[in-house]
Chains A and B, each alone.
Chain A
Amino acid sequence: MDYSELLAEAKDALFLNKMRTGLATLGIIIGISAVITLVSLGQSGQKSVETQIQSLGSNLLTVMPGAQSSGGIRGAGGAQTTSLTYEDAKALQVNSNIVGIKNVSPEIAQRSQLTAGGNNTNVQVQGVTNSYFPVHSLNIQTGNSITDQDVVAARKIAVLGPQVVTDLFGEGATPVGQTVRINKEAFTVVGITEEKGGSGFQNQDNMIFIPLTTAQKIVFGVDYISSIAIETTSKDNMTDVQNQVGYYLLSRHKLSDPTQADFSILSQQDIIGAATQVTGIFTTLLAGIAAISLLVGGIGIMNIMLVTVIERTREIGLRKALGAKKKTVIAQFLAEAIILTGVGGILGLMFGILLSFIITKLINLPFVISLYSIVLAFGVSAGIGVLFGWYPARQASNLSPIEALRYE
């Protein structure tokens, strides 16, 4: 019996029982597509977190008011402290002579109700200077940015995030020149920022930017700022700049003991460190899920192959009685298992990729498929399928024909 005959015989046997073949294929499809989809979703989530962190800006130091705490991470919801001022920021930019500072962006932020016409939305109001945009790598899509003159004159102008535009004026609108109101105060829209995507905390698409001085005097009625973002010239001098900024602000605030500091400095490194921890948990979780689905899929495939072959012990006996040699019988069942896992594997692969694509599009995550998940899912499932198609067939063909024929 040559290979073409072997394949023809295997194909005949597979078509003979469409239900059995269908179920076995389904088992393999589910096993493989589950692994691919789960791994893909996990990696999409991981990628999404990484992208969001990178979108916050690179080479960034953030000075926050309030006492230093271990690890440099301040507890959220703590009392608003008032130790940082616009003058601190200006001094850092102009007078400090710290080498490595590229840009300083003083910021004040608070959530507020925003209205335009009949619509209203609750957004983050950001009082900023012109430096905000380069520091956070945020570009103006339409219109103008906030200029130094706007800040000096405390003009009532605003730059909107695209999400705010959509919420207030409708999708695709360009409301430059129109008016929005924050707490009854009217602001003229001068520009719209580009869409950055992402969601959750610090979503720049859903912010309104106004001159820092306007925010302090007119909107919030305060004289402090919420934070100072400092862009350094390179990634390598961040620690150095962090230290120098620390000492400079200490002396400006007339404090001699660093433990008495009324501010804290967070580097992007710290945030990335925290995020790496999160994505690390993600990765472990993911590997666990993939392992479990691989196990479940594998057991499913094993069961269906075992049952399929054991059910056909009588057929093996008959084939042997009619003159089939042991190796011919084994070869036929092996060919069947290879066809089954091959076809099921490819279908499962396509189904898994399609499913991942649809789900990631639905929940707005980047679509990631990695080769290793495909190789792993296909390799393990096909391996188990072939092994448990071959092994019981070998056992059955070792029986004498009459034992196999009598098998119930």
Chain B
Amino acid sequence: MIQVTHLSKIYKNDSVETVAINDISFSIKKGEFVSIMGPSGSGKSTLMHILGGLDIPTKGKYTLDGQDVEKLTDDELAEIRNKKIGFVFQAFNLLPRTTAIKNVMLPMVYGGVPKEERFEKAKKFLEMVGLGDRLEHTSNQLSGGQMQRVAIARALVMDPAIILADEPTGNIASTQAAEIMAIFQNLHKKGHTIIMITHEHDIARHAKRIITMKDGRII
């Protein structure tokens, strides 16, 4: 499903070149649960952004579902982010001062889901992550774990094939981390492809496969 060959990402800042990803190749099959591990600065976040179509590689080839991502237009890429990929960010990235239900409904606004269906669908996913009683709470009225669960509901609402999670438990308490991981396990059982970044070993252990990165390379 995901095929990466000789991929590199180089950031140029003035005259200084920073190699974030250095010529890596791997593939991930449909339905896999993969953890990407590594110390900070190892390039794992950059890799995740490229896999999610948020950033473009400097060199190499990235094929998603047989499509060469490099050849897609900006709008086609937006369509893929909307329909095929669900993001869970470390910093949650919810719309500020917006209710949980509106946050979850946002991808459906861009995805062309009929208006009437949006509320019920968003409610279903919020109930699934255990926030059925928090629909009208705004993000500042929620705890870190609750915000991350809203973000997961938002990532799932378009029923994407791939879920990308960047340190999903990094900013929340460890008791709530267990609940989040249980949700991911559940999604994995339902057949979603899950790619999760983490630097904690006991979180990474939930995955069936662990890719370890260091200095922009897979080791």
Residues in A lying within 8 Å of B, measured CB to CB:
1, 5, 9, 12, 16-17, 314-315, 318-328, 400-403, 405
Complex A-B, nearest 5 residue pairs according to Cβ-Cβ distance, in ascending order: A323-B82, A402-B54, A323-B110, A401-B54, A402-B55
B97 touches A323 (CB 8 A): no
B78 touches A325 (CB 8 A): yes
B83 touches A323 (CB 8 A): yes
Residues of chain A within 8 A (CB-CB) of B109 are 1, 5, 9
* B53, closest chain A residue (CB): A401
Once the chains are docked, how many angstroms separate the CA of A328 from the CA of B112?
A: 12
Q: Taking the complex as formed, is B56 at the interface, i.e. its CB lies under 8 A from any CB of chain A?
A: yes
B81 touches A1 (CB 8 A): no
* A5, closest chain B residue (CB): B109
Once the chains are docked, how many angstroms separate the CA of A402 from the CA of B45?
A: 11
Known A-B contacts: A17-B97, A325-B79, A400-B55. Give 19 more (CB < 8 A): A12-B98, A16-B96, A16-B98, A314-B93, A321-B81, A321-B93, A322-B82, A322-B106, A322-B110, A323-B107, A323-B110, A323-B158, A324-B82, A324-B110, A325-B75, A327-B75, A400-B56, A401-B54, A401-B81
Decide if the interface of chain B is mainly helix, strand, loop or mixed: helix
Contacting B79 at CB < 8 Å: which of A16, A318, A319, A323?
A323
15 of the cross-chain contacts (CB-CB < 8 Å) are A9-B109, A16-B95, A315-B95, A318-B93, A321-B87, A322-B82, A322-B87, A323-B78, A324-B82, A325-B74, A328-B110, A401-B55, A402-B54, A405-B54, A405-B93
- The answer to whether A400 and B54 touch (CB under 8 A), given A322-B106, A325-B110, is yes
B82 touches A402 (CB 8 A): no
* B84, closest chain A residue (CB): A323
* A18, closest chain B residue (CB): B97
Best-surrounded residue of B110, B111, B112 (most CB of chain A within 10 A): B110
- The answer to whether A16 and B93 touch (CB under 8 A), given A322-B82, A325-B75, A325-B78, is no
A324 touches B78 (CB 8 A): yes
Once the chains are docked, how many angstroms separate the CA of A326 from the CA of B49?
A: 18
Interface size on B, residues (CB 8 A): 28
A1 touches B95 (CB 8 A): no
* B80, closest chain A residue (CB): A323
Once the chains are docked, how many angstroms separate the CA of A23 from the CA of B109?
A: 28
Once the chains are docked, how many angstroms separate the CA of A326 from the CA of B73?
A: 11
Once the chains are docked, how many angstroms separate the CA of A314 from the CA of B96?
A: 11
Residues of chain B within 8 A (CB-CB) of A325 are 74-75, 78-79, 110
Residues of chain B within 8 A (CB-CB) of A9 are 109
Residues of chain A within 8 A (CB-CB) of B95 are 16, 315, 318
Q: Taking the complex as formed, is B44 at the interface, i.e. its CB lies under 8 A from any CB of chain A?
A: no
Once the chains are docked, how many angstroms separate the CA of A403 from the CA of B56?
A: 11
Q: Taking the complex as formed, is B149 at the interface, i.e. its CB lies under 8 A from any CB of chain A?
A: no
Once the chains are docked, how many angstroms separate the CA of A320 from the CA of B79?
A: 10
Residues of chain B within 8 A (CB-CB) of A326 are 74-75, 78
Residues of chain B within 8 A (CB-CB) of A403 are 55
Once the chains are docked, how many angstroms separate the CA of A359 from the CA of B75?
A: 55
Residues of chain B within 8 A (CB-CB) of A318 are 93, 95
Residues of chain B within 8 A (CB-CB) of A320 are 78, 81
Q: Taking the complex as formed, is B123 at the interface, i.e. its CB lies under 8 A from any CB of chain A?
A: no
Once the chains are docked, how many angstroms separate the CA of A30 from the CA of B83?
A: 45
* A4, closest chain B residue (CB): B115
Residues of chain A within 8 A (CB-CB) of B52 are 321
Once the chains are docked, how many angstroms separate the CA of A184 from the CA of B111?
A: 96
Q: Which residues of chain B in 65-116 are interfacial with respect to chain A, using CB atoms and an 8 Å cutoff?
A: 74-75, 78-79, 81-83, 87, 93, 95-98, 102, 106-107, 109-112, 115
Q: Taking the complex as formed, is B154 at the interface, i.e. its CB lies under 8 A from any CB of chain A?
A: yes
B102 touches A12 (CB 8 A): yes
* B91, closest chain A residue (CB): A405
Residues of chain B within 8 A (CB-CB) of A321 are 52, 54, 81, 87, 93
Residues of chain B within 8 A (CB-CB) of A314 are 93
